[in-house]
Structure 1
Amino acid sequence: MTGLGLLLLAVLAMVAESSSGKGTFINFSDLNKLYNSKVYMAELFTRPLDGIPFQIGILGHSGVRVTLQDGSKWLIHKGDGYGKSSQTIVVDGRHMSNNWKLKEQKDFRGSKTVSDFVKAGGAEYKLLFDNCHNAANRIMDD
């Protein structure tokens, strides 16, 4: 694995969030498996920003939920302060609230991996030019 791969692997260290904000960690072997897992379906979702009951245009949050060969679903999304090495993170899709609304689906047929999508999301967050919407669109276009 390359240096960039290890850096992105570190980003994936926290892969699940609970509503209490506490993370669930997985071991290195499982993390490596997730990182290299092939993506079969990708779904672009949006939701209102935290604390706001509705979404208006870009005043919201975007992420991409991926489905792997084993049927597990993971949300790849980006935000200011989300990660340490990268602001694009992967969390267990089971923790998505019902505020997320499906906008687009794309069948990748296993041609991409979770790591490809994290890389497409980008490491740095910039509100105007490299935000969650930009990252989600790059992932879907990847």
Structure 2
Amino acid sequence: HADLSRPELTDLYNSRVMSAEKMTRRMGSSSSGSGIFSHSGVRLTLEDGSQWLVHKGDGYGDTSETVATRASGMSSDWKVTQTKDIHGSQRVADYVRAGGSDYNLITDNCHHASGRMMKLGG
């Protein structure tokens, strides 16, 4: 989200979420796409039809390790593992908050964050 101005970022974070999809992809050269050898995030479809990936990683953000990025930049390696209709009951900010600001490989990684995000709304 570094390419968004402060007002655009505020608008994004206040946007209503219509659906959420938990997504996973393999890490690096691993042939496995699950478990500790994968990365996960949640792709949100917003009221305006745009899609954003909310995901967490070590060093991903300045003030939070959970960030929102345009889903158009996702590779074809990402696969949907769970879907949920939200019907506008949550906002993007709720997902970023649920992801958490701090990263810990063992106790608070991308999979923990994605799990918390998928418990929202619906």
TM-score in terms of structure 2 length: 0.93
User: Which residue identity lines up with residue 51 of structure 1 in the other structure?
Assistant: S
Match of 1:44 in 2: 22
Structure 2 counterpart of 1:73, from 22, 29, 51: 51
1:110 pairs, out of 79, 84, 88, with 88
Structure 2: give runs of 5+ residues left out of the alignment. none
- Number of residues paired by the alignment? 120
- Return the match for 1:31 from 9, 13, 16: 9
Structural mapping, 1:50-61, within 5 Å = 50-61=28-39
> Alignment RMSD, CA only?
1.1
Equivalent in the alignment of 1:96: 74
Structure 1: unaligned runs, 5 residues or longer = 1-12, 15-24
2:30–2:37: 8 Å Cα contact kept in structure 1? no
Aligned partner of 1:133 in structure 2 is: 111
Distance in 1, matches of 2:34 and 2:118, equals 21
Counterpart residue identity of residue 29, structure 1: P
